[in-house]
Amino acid sequence: MDFLGKRPQGSAVSTTARGQRAEDAALACLQAQGLKLVARNYRTPGRGGGEIDLILRDRDGSLVFVEVRSRNTERFGGAAASIGSIKQQRIVLAARHYLMQFAAPPPCRLDVVLVDTSGSPAAVEWLKAAFDAM
């Protein structure tokens, strides 16, 4: 906030709120498809680690690690283009860290959910197995 108590346009709070709404929309969509929430906003310890927005269990028992991306404009390629190789590496790092708790990890996949929050309701696109852990 500035000295007048006004919040600057495009502030982190509005970005955080928009991201939360996108995650809520993605979760509702996935749950409607029969997936069950396991964890939300899973983070690895330490700096430079990774984060996974949603971890769900699919009907077949697979763990599904979901990255939710939202953009309010298609400039620069939109939400899908914002998941570059470094972001993918961090998601994979976090997924591997999460799987360390299992003696025998279940089958899993890395999905992406793209959310367009410009309309009401939000438009949601689910990309199953969007990238590999290679």
Q: For residue 121, which amino acid is it?
A: P
Q: How many domains does the chain have?
A: 1
Token duo for residue 47: 């700096």
**Spatial contact of 117 and 18, defined as CB atoms under 8 Å apart:** yes
Domain annotation covers residue 132: no
Domain annotation covers residue 4: no
Token duo for residue 108: 């899993």
What is the pLDDT at residue 132?
Answer: 80
What is the pLDDT at residue 9?
Answer: 54
What is the pLDDT at residue 103?
Answer: 95
Domain annotation covers residue 134: no
Q: In what order do the strands lie in the sheet with 51-57?
A: 36-43, 51-57, 63-70, 108-116, 123-127
**Spatial contact of 42 and 28, defined as CB atoms under 8 Å apart:** no
Domain annotation covers residue 2: no
What is the pLDDT at residue 4?
Answer: 44
Domain annotation covers residue 133: no
The CATH number assigned to the domain holding 81 equals 3.40.1350.10
> For the chain, which ranges sit under pLDDT 50?
1-7, 13, 76-77, 134
Domain annotation covers residue 61: yes
Q: Among 85, 81, 60, which Cα is nearest to 71's?
A: 81
Token duo for residue 130: 């969007």
| Three-state DSSP state, 19 | helix
What is the pLDDT at residue 90?
Answer: 87
Domain annotation covers residue 41: yes
Pairing of strands 63-70, 51-57: antiparallel
What is the pLDDT at residue 5?
Answer: 45
Q: What sign for the dihedral angle of Cα 49, 78, 31, 19?
A: positive
What is the pLDDT at residue 18?
Answer: 80
Structural domain span for residue 64: 12-127
| Three-state DSSP state, 127 | strand
